[in-house]
Structure 1
Amino acid sequence: MMDTNSKTMRLIIFITGLLLSTISYGQTSLKEIGLKAGKYKVGFKHYTVNDSTRTYRIHNEFNNQLIERPIPVSIWYPATIANSKSKQLTVLNYLQVLKEEEEWKNLPNYFLLDWFPYLWNTPENKAHLSERVNAYSNPTLLIGKFPVVVYAPSYQASSIENFALFEYLASNGFVVISSPSRGTDTRWLEGATTKDMETQSRDVEFLLKEIHSFKNIDFKKVALMGFSFGGLSNAITVMKNRNISAVVSLDGAERYNYPVLEKSPYFNLDRFDIPYVHFAQKEIPKEVLTTDKIPEELNYKFQLYDSLKYSNIHRYRFHNLTHSYFSSFGILFANRDKRQDKSDEKIMASYNLLCQHTLQFLNATLKNEKKSINFIENNPTVNGFSDILISKQTKKAIEKDFTYQDFNDLAFKQDYQDLIPLYEKTIINHPSLELQEGMLNTLGLRLSFNPKKKEQGYNVILLALHIYPKSANLYDSLAEAYFYNKDYQKAILNYEKSLELNPNNQNAIERLKKLKE
């Protein structure tokens, strides 16, 4: 019987595309992928910031010296290129970032394809290095407010692994920010453990904070996107954070490694209640499943998709893409597996489709564009795509129980005005709603003791009295609110009402005595 760690490592080796048998070399190019850029020019910045709350060790220095955890940050954004000294980048420029993140910053470029085994030194891959990309180095950020996509890379991968997709999204009005997938203590992860997932999740949360250093980001429109292991990390990040609007999973490992997700202390499916799309790889041929001892359930089990109840979720399957080709690096540099990979032309065309569908989903969920909403709701055949290329399933969210927190959110949005009509309207749609007297009393007093929010506080207590008209305590609290704000006539009136309901209310007796003196 194989232990859990062995199974996990075997699965990682498979899904990261490092199969070394029956390989061939791909012949692809950015031009042939054919992504049509949007209306914005694309800027690219890369820099490193430190997380002072965590320590880290540079593995290649072979010592015990600890430093603050470095977070390399790559960011793509709509930019102003006119009158700029910015240069158009090449693939080689992106690989300079890779060298830094792999902690080989000074490695000579002629070693690149030999040093990192997932790049492969072939004539075809050498030709990619000089290809021009759509991004320019460090131009000025375009004035405006743009939605942001925070990206989590695959297992131990670079922040720039999906650069073609990032440029495409930035050219269509999104900011994309990414950092590499790194282990807790060094560059190396432990084997796709829950600890690894939590570490990457913390890095994603660091980026969620880092975006606030940019003025052109709409902080109310934030999506997470991740490939492979990054999808697993994003799932747990959503369960910890309430400021995320949507999630894109590029064949995410939440499908392959669900037990790792369940082991997290933050695991809570009820908190995953935002739009979610999972783009899945093609079915794995039986020959590959058997030869590589891969569980057959990998082809049909989508446990997170099946378990979510409160999200509107979509599941696509790209019938010409194996796992490695959900990234730009995979398209350009990965070796092909003759047992299952389609032709380069089909792989590039499907990656193009993947990018289009990602953009449409983000336009629908972050920009609320009607055309994109229709696109996502439609079956792919209605959108003009053959079911030979892509298929889809959709699951609608069921309505959560409407709680007092939900009502308070509505009240907050209208600045606690007209609360009684709001309550009467809400209770019709949510008859099980219960606004507890104590909660309303505490909230009302808390607001009333804030000079800038006193009227809102009165409104909350008046709503409570509408629901609980015979509560002596609520009248006493309303009187206290007026008393604190020196509206003594109204304070007297409400202390007296409290005493009518509870003649033993000593607080009201003593207050009235002092007020009448």
Structure 2
Amino acid sequence: MDTNSKTIRLIIFIIGVVLSAVSYGQTSLKEIGLKAGKYKIGFKHYTVIDSTRTYRIHNEFNNRLIERPIPISIWYPAKIEHSNSEQLTVLNYLEILKEEEEWKNLPNYFLLDWFPYLWNTPENKAQLSEKVNAFFNPAPQNGNFPVVVYAPSYQASSIENFALFEYLASNGFIIISSPSRGTDTRWLEGGTTRDMETQSRDVEFLLKEISTYENIDLEKVALMGFSFGGLSNAITVMKNKTIKAIVSLDGTERYNYTVLEKSPYFNLDKFSIPYIHFAQKEIPKEVLTTEKISEEVNYKFQLYNSLEYSNIHRYRFHDLTHSYFSSFGVLFANRDKRQDKSDDKIMASYNLLCQHTLQFLNATLKNEKMAIAFIENKPVANGFSDSLISKQTKKAIEKEFTYKDFNDLAFKQDYQDLIPLYEKTMVNHPNLELQEGMLNTLGLRLSFNSEKKGQGYNVLLLALHLNPKSANLYDSLAEAYFYNEDYQNAILNYKKSLELNPENQNAIDRLKQLKE
């Protein structure tokens, strides 16, 4: 069997389509028992267009190409001020499937029959009328909140983890999600690198979309993904420096590392942010044998072993199989008698998964001390038995701090107070070297922009602080002043350059020009 065939088989198994023995579950949002935080929850759903890519509606069976539609779901802390704010039901969420699955006019009574991850049972029908915590499109709460960009599992909906999203929003986070779609149509190819790149690009579209919102703290952005979405997020992190943390809900970066490696953006050195991975229980040998899946899925995690610059927390939930890392799975998926725990244990573990996700985000995006301690602790120290949750931790090694890293810090503070910044940075990174040529080039580049001339002077003054006997740097600073018509400072610095190098012909010529 070739590598691609193995990947597709594993994807099919992991998303729970192949089950040889099933039974019906009975769950509810109420029984999951997530205790909401202090904020009311708003929800809205809309569609935007990515005009840079084409797309085809598969169900229309034609060759017509359109601009790629991006359905977006967003949960946020909200103000519920009027009685006319509509509280949503589970059915309201499932109606979004009709748009995302391109069956806009599908009658609601077909919902539980039409989509493979929903099952038409009396128990599931009863859940459709259950009230959720979110309200439709109320005003956002005042203030700026951290944001979590979510990537769904393989070909799944933006709302697949709505109970987790509501829980996070009630605790002061904004969550934004779009469905997992193929490159050309709704359908993916089978978990390929191309599929991963497409979903990663959709995530990057959402990263741009959040900049249009007024109540988001753009300095506090995390990614979260389930299953295939975890794989897509791993490559997204390697392409974007704005992301501060990543949450993986049994992400397939653990199962399909080779798909990740094939990306042209694959670069482990650029994966240097806090990373938490929640894994499913060990898959029983009976299931592995029946589904022809390698036993290494239970223990191999090459990304974890390969990352060097990221602090990683790796958990295993011993009562959760893969499907139950989503709200859809807990509420609607049939149970596999060969490996699934009872409904009560599944709901209790999903509750704990949500709690651990919140604590990690509170630690990494809000810097809350109690959350940091929670994540650093072993599960038993937090009151959880090893039979329920186990954990491994891997600390990052210190990455070499280069002139590029210093320049990032300088840019962040608009190239102000550079000498104190340098002295402070040297305390933590004593091996930092700022090359004279780099500072000279950067200083001139900024100085020749009339809107950035002050920043350019500051860079050249830092260079002179480090290289006080450089005739060339004084000459460059003089050129910067000359270009910006500050002739008095230009003359002063040309003269200083000549004191250090009397043969500096450029300074001689400039002083003669200025005298005339």
TM-score tier (shorter)? over 0.9
Question: Equivalent residues in 2 for 1:419-434 (5 A)?
Answer: 419-434=418-433
Residues of 1 paired with 2:420 and 2:354: CA distance?
A: 46
Unmatched tracts of structure 2, length 5 or more: none
Matched with 1:103 is 102
TM-superposed deviation, 1:481:
1.9
| Residue in structure 2 matched with residue 381 of structure 1 by the alignment | 380
User: How is 1:1-20 mapped onto 2 (pairs within 5 angstroms)?
Assistant: 2-20=1-19
Structure 1 residue 337: deviation in Å? 0.8
| Partner in structure 2 of residue 333 of structure 1 | 332
Find out whether 1:185 has 2:184 as its counterpart: yes
TM-superposed deviation, 1:443 = 1.8
The answer for the alignment partner of 1:408 in structure 2 is 407
SS of equivalent residue, structure 1 residue 382:
helix
The residue type equivalent to 1:41 in the other structure is: K
Looking at structure 2, the residues matched to 421 and 98 of structure 1 have their Cα atoms a distance apart, in angstroms, of 55
Change (3 A) 1:415 1:92: closer
Amino acid at match of 1:501: L
- Are 1:254 and 2:214 counterparts? no
Deviation, structure 1 residue 452: 5.0
- 2:235 alignment partner in structure 1: 236
In structure 1, how many angstroms separate the alpha carbons of the residues matched to 2:119 and 2:472? Answer: 75
The AA in structure 1 aligned to 2:241 is R
Query: SS where residue 427 of structure 1 aligns?
Result: helix
Instruction: Provide the residue aligned with 1:279 in structure 2.
Output: 278
Q: Does structure 2 conserve the Cα–Cα contact (< 8 Å) formed by 1:98 and 1:158?
A: yes
Deviation string 1:55-114 (CA, Å, 9 cap, x unpaired) is 111101111111111111111111111215221111111111011111111111121111
Classify 1:429/1:134 alpha carbon distance in 2 versus 1 (closer, same or farther; 3 Å): closer
- Cα deviation per residue 1:296-347 (whole Å; 9 max; x = unaligned)? 1111111111111111110010000000000000001111111111011000
How far does residue 467 in structure 1 lie from its aligned partner after superposition?
2.4
Q: Which amino acid aligns with 2:119?
A: W
Range 226-235 or range 395-404, more displaced: 395-404
Please give the secondary structure, in 2, of the residue aligned with 1:197: helix
Q: Distance in 2 between matches of 1:278 and 1:409?
A: 29
Shift of 1:412: 3.7
Would the alpha carbon gap of residues 416 and 66 (structure 1) be closer, same or farther in structure 2, given more than 3 Å must change? closer
CA-CA distance at 1:139 after TM superposition: 1.4
Q: Which residue of 1 aligns with 2:175?
A: 176
Q: CA RMSD in A?
A: 1.5
> How far off its partner does 1:426 sit?
3.2
Name the % identity. 85
SS of 1:266's partner is coil
User: Which residue is 2:208 aligned to?
Assistant: 209
Structure 1 segment 69-88 matched on structure 2, within 5 A: 69-88=68-87
The Cα of 1:503 is off from its aligned counterpart by 3.4
- CA distance in 2 between counterparts of 1:163 and 1:421 reads 47
**What is the CA deviation profile of residues 204-224 of structure 1, one whole-angstrom value per residue up to 9, with x for unaligned ones?**
111111112221111111111
Matched residue, 1:54:
53
- Greater displacement, 496-505 / 46-55: 496-505
Using the TM superposition, name which of 30-39 and 406-415 deviates more: 406-415
Aligned residues of 1:416 and 1:459 also touching (Cα < 8 A): yes
Asked if 2 retains the 8 angstrom alpha-carbon contact of 1:24 and 1:336, the reply is yes
Deviations 1:236-277 (A, max 9, x none): 111111111110000001001110010000001111111110
8 A Cα contact 1:458 1:481, kept in partner? yes
What amino acid sits opposite 1:369 in the alignment?
A: E
The Cα of 1:192 is off from its aligned counterpart by: 0.4
Greater shift after overlay, 403-412 or 119-128? 403-412
Bigger CA drift: 417-426 or 368-377?
417-426
Q: TM-score, with normalisation over the residues of structure 2?
A: 0.97
Give distance in 2, aligned partners of 1:488 and 1:119.
75
Hey, what does 2:195 align to over in structure 1? 196
Q: Superposed, which structure 2 residues align to 1:76-475 within 5 Å? A: 76-475=75-474
Quick check: 474-483 or 260-269, which moved more? 474-483
1:414 shift after superposition: 4.6
Question: Comparing 386-395 with 455-464, which one deviates more in the overlay?
Answer: 455-464
Range 120-129 or range 413-422, more displaced: 413-422
Distance 1:187 1:305 in 2: 31
Change in 2 beyond 3 A, CA 1:412/1:66: closer
* CA drift at 1:122: 1.3
Distance in 2 (CA, whole Å) between partners of 1:426 and 1:50 is 43
Distance 1:261 1:120 in 2: 33
Match of 1:493 in 2: 492
Looking at structure 1, the residues matched to 424 and 79 of structure 2 have their Cα atoms a distance apart, in angstroms, of 48
Change (3 A) 1:426 1:95: closer
Shift of 1:235: 0.6
State the secondary structure of the residue aligned to 2:238: helix
Aligned equivalents of 2:492 and 2:214: distance in 1?
A: 51
- Asked whether the 8 Å contact 1:19–1:337 carries over to 2, the reply is no
**How far apart are the structure 2 equivalents of 1:118 and 1:129?**
15
Give the deviation of 1:498 after TM superposition: 2.0
Q: What is the alpha-carbon distance in structure 1 between the residues aligned to residue 487 and residue 130 of structure 2?
A: 77
Task: Give the count of matched residue pairs.
Answer: 516
Aligned-pair CA distance for 1:480: 1.1
Question: In structure 2, what is the Cα distance between the partners aligned to 1:424 and 1:65?
Answer: 61
* 8 Å CA contact 1:281, 1:319 repeated in 2: yes
Structure 1: gaps of 5 or more residues: none
Q: CA deviation at 1:417?
A: 4.2
Equivalent residue number for residue 483 of structure 1: 482
Give the TM-score taking structure 1 as reference length: 0.97
On the 8 A contact 1:84/1:139 being kept in 2, the answer is no
- Displacement of 1:423 in angstroms is 2.9
CA distance, structure 1, for counterparts of residue 423 and residue 349 of structure 2: 51
Do the aligned partners of residues 299 and 468 (structure 1) sit closer, same or farther apart at CA in structure 2, a change above 3 Å counting?
same
